Amino acid sequence: MHITLINTDDEVWAIGMRGISSVLRKAGHKTTMIFAGASDVPITDQVIQEIATVVGNSEIISISSMSRGSMRAKMLIEGLRPLGRLIVWGGIHPTLFPEDCIPHADLVCRGEGEEFMLDLVERVASGKGFADIPNGAYLFDGRTILNDLRPPIADLDELPFLDFDFENEYVLDRTGMLVPNAGMREKGVVLFSGARGCNNSCTYCSNSRLKAIYKGKGHFVRKMSISRFVEAAKVYQQQFPRLTCFYFTDEDFFSRSEEEMREFAETYPDIVGLPFECMASPRQITEEKVALATKAGMYLIDVGLESGSERVRREVFHRHITDEMQYRAALAVNAYAQQDSVLYFLILGNPYEQRQDLIDGVHLLKALPHPFSLRIYNLVLLPGTNLYEKAVEDGIIKGIGDSASELDFLAGYDHRTHDWKRQNIYLNGLISLMGGRSTRWRMGLVPRKFIPILTSSRVVDYCDCHPLISEMVVYLGIFRVWIPEAISRSQDKIHRYATRIMG
């Protein structure tokens, strides 16, 4: 059977979709993958016709999206409906917020999609119905049907490697045309994960709700064996000839035991030998693990501060990591990792964060060992998450329309489109200027010696009373993020054009 898999998020890694494609191909089915998430290309009749042509004789069309790509998914489903094919919609957004998706698709997949899609394809091929398919959700006589979930895949080692063969794979370019995605083979960095699930239950993250959905179904956090993980890295190294490093996207790479980390440090350098970036929770960071990861080739470790306020982390995010844990993790990284090899994450634009919380955050950043880098995230109230539900209950937002789910949370603090982000504009803008590299003398664009003055009550009061000043500070931060991204997009466009011209 031929299945077309379409991703409407603005990225081409789509690890979940690539995993499903591998499972289907291993079972003897044909897949086509389409990456239709170019956010600056609207879903026009031309784009729909392009996609319909590539869909061809596929019996099943599977759409995958997070919240940000959900509107594009709805538009594509409407445009492809005349083809008369079975349309399935899966991904994080349908899993957390199925009621938003069920009216549009013939069938929604909640939870992991590998076994669901294989089951569905076999049912369709044999003429069987799918009304009782596990993980399925749909409308029947005006009623929403949510079938029971199958247990999460227990042994990740049994899954085939991600589909990076680039056969029958297309990407929507900036002109609205679908072109072969062969140029992706030239990427110098490859992203993949050796684990699923997270031990934390942060209210802003999908994992807290996923844990509730899967409660009683089996282990939520699962990991590949070290041998399988290293084997995967070796396979991907062979598939990407220009590969220079990996980004391991496990929610918490350091959640592995010290014994596992030691095995990784002893095998990965000899078999693969490429530097890597990974994410780690402060709770799991120890001197021993940092030393082992560094020995294995870790050149950058991403650590989530998320909020500089211990109160906000505890009471709002339900992220039970104290300042002491943050400092201890920072000292371990500073002592045993390569110099200048830590990237901290911080979320801004939080309506539950007060003035003192933000000032506490500045104090935390100042106290961290330098040099380090800081990445600013823009809070998005992801539909279906616990924080989204709280914001609706508290009257901060009405629903998905003003949840900011359409925003790129990686693009830094931006308050322009949602009024609930306009609290403490000056302090949020000031901290956003601290994004980037911090040294002995400066934090991002802000000289360290000016920080006590810039965060004093007198200055903060004055800026809060003069919105124009606060707005100017924010726009400095926005342009600081936008300019490098614009340059990067231009370089990518030139590279794709050159690839097409040169064949």
DSSP states of 83-121 as a string?
G--EEEEESHHHHH-HHHHTTTSSEEE-S--HHHHHHHH
Q: Give the contacts of 334 (CB within 8 A, at least 6 positions apart).
A: 342, 369
Structural domain includes residue 262: no
354 vs 476: CA distance, rounded Å: 22
Helix (H) or strand (E) holding 138: strand 136-140
- 150-168 burial, b at 16+ Cβ within 10 Å, e below that, comes to bebbeebeebebbbbbeeb
In terms of Cβ atoms closer than 10 Å to its own Cβ (0-12, 13-18, 19+), residue 84 is exposed
Q: Are 152 and 278 in the same domain?
A: no
Last residue of some domain: 158, 178, 206? 158
- Please give the C-alpha separations between residue 432 and each of 342, 427, 482, in angstroms, as whole numbers: 18, 8, 13
Q: What is the DSSP string of 458-487?
A: HHHHHHHH-HHHHHHHHHHHHHHHHHHHHH
Structural domain includes residue 208: no
Structural domain includes residue 236: no
Contact 321, 279 (CB under 8 A): no
313 vs 308: CA distance, rounded Å: 8
SS (H, E, C) 295-346: HHCEEEEEEEEECCCHHHHHHHCCCCCCHHHHHHHHHHHHHHCCCCCEEEEE
Q: Are 154 and 281 in the same domain?
A: no
Q: Where are the beta strands (DSSP E) in 181-269?
A: 189-192, 195-196, 222-223, 245-248
Q: Are 141 and 286 in the same domain?
A: no
Structural domain includes residue 468: yes
Last residue of some domain: 126, 142, 158? 158
Q: Are 445 and 311 in the same domain?
A: yes
Q: Are 420 and 295 in the same domain?
A: yes
Per this entry, what is the length of the chain? 503
283 vs 306: CA distance, rounded Å: 13
Structural domain includes residue 282: yes
Q: Are 154 and 278 in the same domain?
A: no
Structural domain includes residue 418: yes
300 vs 277: CA distance, rounded Å: 5
Structural domain includes residue 29: yes
364 vs 358: CA distance, rounded Å: 10
Give pLDDT tens digits for 269-306.
999 999 999 999 999 999 999 999 999 999 999 999 99
Task: Report the pLDDT value the prediction gives residue 489, as an integer from 0 to 100.
Answer: 47
Contact 57, 88 (CB under 8 A): no
Q: Are 141 and 6 in the same domain?
A: yes
Contact 280, 246 (CB under 8 A): no
Q: Give the contacts of 386 (CB within 8 A, at least 6 positions apart).
A: 203, 208, 209, 318
130 vs 122: CA distance, rounded Å: 10
Which among 38, 103, 57 has a CA at the least distance from the CA of 77?
A: 103
Task: Report the pLDDT value the prediction gives residue 175, as an integer from 0 to 100.
Answer: 87
- Please give the C-alpha separations between residue 38 and each of 68, 76, 123, 171, in angstroms, as whole numbers: 12, 13, 33, 9
Q: Coil, strand, or helix at residue 3?
A: strand
The domain spanning residue 46 has which CATH number? 3.40.50.280
**What letter represents residue 390's amino acid?**
K
Task: Report the pLDDT value the prediction gives residue 478, as an integer from 0 to 100.
Answer: 66
Structural domain includes residue 436: yes
**How far apart, in Å, do the first and last CA atoms of the chain sit?**
30
Q: Coil, strand, or helix at residue 372?
A: strand
| Overall number of domains in the chain | 2
Q: Coil, strand, or helix at residue 247?
A: strand
The residue ranges of the chain whose pLDDT is under 50 are 485-489, 491-492, 494-503
Q: Are 148 and 297 in the same domain?
A: no
345 vs 16: CA distance, rounded Å: 24
Here the tokens at position 141 are 């006589």
Last residue of some domain: 136, 158, 180? 158
> What domain range is 423 assigned to?
274-493
Q: Where are the beta strands (DSSP E) in 408-449?
A: 436-438, 442-443, 446-447
